[in-house]
């Protein structure tokens, strides 16, 4: 959508860069520069506003600082997409989270196979190291945009049932609870920042080394049975997590 011309007033007490910044911010807020669109080039902005290159650059840098645009090296400057804000206050699946945010969730299965559990997977699923488990790898999308790369491990007896379903349509949590009578009661989360390795980067359509959130989640069924262990790689440029914590006791400051 084309931007609407706006007049810059050289005689105003407001600096020229701030006027350019205000006009571009208005274009973004009004949808004339929609999320994901490329900002006009420096030369185009210079011509549009009749200002110098340093003025345009300062205006754009201020927009970057406000989180309204981002500079992609070798590509240009783009209007940022609003981040998906996900609450970590209850055990929910990706589909439930996206529906709650008014997003349309889909999935793309990368592979599903029987593998030997390494020490970490075996520990999380309370199995001997080397036990055969089912590994499912999927890309999860919101409104057709890749958001997370999910690596799910299930005990063999459970996983071999789950993979007979269409995992691009059926959420694993729903299958466990509604089809296989394994209600989930709690989960342990571990979150850290990581750099995208090549396989994950390709799946998420980001550059290798891009910032990701890694959530390791072990979900437990009735009887404290660890039935689902996941490594969830979320795009750092698209997602943020929030939670609310209660103060324990009346201790010191």
Q: What are the tokens at 96?
A: 């439930």
Q: What is the reported pTM? A: 0.74
Task: With CA atoms as reference, report the closest residue to 98 among 110, 106, 89, 90.
Answer: 106
Owner of token pair 């920042």: 193
Look up residue 127 and give its two tokens: 């199995």
Domains assigned to the chain: 16-79 (1.10.10.10), 84-242 (3.40.1410.10)
**Nearest of 219, 231, 85 to residue 148 by alpha carbon:** 231
Quote the radius of gyration of the chain (alpha carbons, Å): 23
Full pLDDT tens readout for the chain, 253 residues: 444 455 688 888 999 999 999 999 999 888 899 888 999 999 999 999 999 999 999 999 999 988 889 888 888 899 987 788 888 889 999 999 999 888 899 999 999 999 999 999 999 999 999 999 999 999 999 988 899 999 999 999 999 999 999 999 999 999 999 999 999 999 999 999 999 999 999 999 999 999 999 999 999 999 999 999 999 999 998 898 988 888 887 665 5
For CA atoms 109, 137, 105, 168, the dihedral sign is positive
């Amino acid at each position: 959508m084309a931007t609407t011309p706006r007049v810059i007033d050289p005689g105003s007490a407001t600096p020229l860069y701030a006027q350019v910044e205000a006009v571009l911010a208005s274009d973004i807020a009004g949808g004339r520069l929609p999320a994901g669109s490329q900002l006009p080039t420096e030369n185009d902005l210079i011509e549009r506003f009749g200002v110098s290159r340093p003025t345009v650059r300062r205006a754009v840098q201020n927009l970057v600082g406000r989180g309204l645009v981002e500079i992609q090296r070798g590509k240009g400057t783009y209007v940022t997409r609003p981040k998906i804000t996900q609450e970590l206050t209850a055990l929910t699946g990706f589909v439930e989270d996206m529906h709650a945010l008014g997003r349309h969730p889909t999935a793309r299965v990368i592979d599903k196979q029987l593998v030997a559990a390494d020490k970490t997977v075996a520990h999380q699923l309370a199995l001997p190291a080397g036990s055969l488990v089912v590994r499912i790898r999927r890309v999860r999308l919101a409104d057709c945009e890749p958001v997370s790369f999910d690596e799910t491990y299930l005990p063999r007896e459970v996983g071999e049932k789950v993979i007979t379903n269409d995992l691009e349509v059926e959420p694993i949590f729903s299958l466990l609870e509604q089809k296989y009578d394994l209600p989930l009661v709690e989960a342990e989360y571990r979150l850290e920042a990581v750099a995208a390795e090549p396989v994950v980067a390709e799946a998420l359509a980001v550059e290798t080394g891009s910032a990701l959130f890694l959530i390791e989640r072990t979900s437990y069924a009735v009887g404290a049975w660890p039935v689902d262990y996941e490594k969830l790689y979320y795009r750092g440029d698209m997602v943020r997590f929030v939670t609310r914590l209660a103060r324990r006791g009346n201790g010191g400051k």
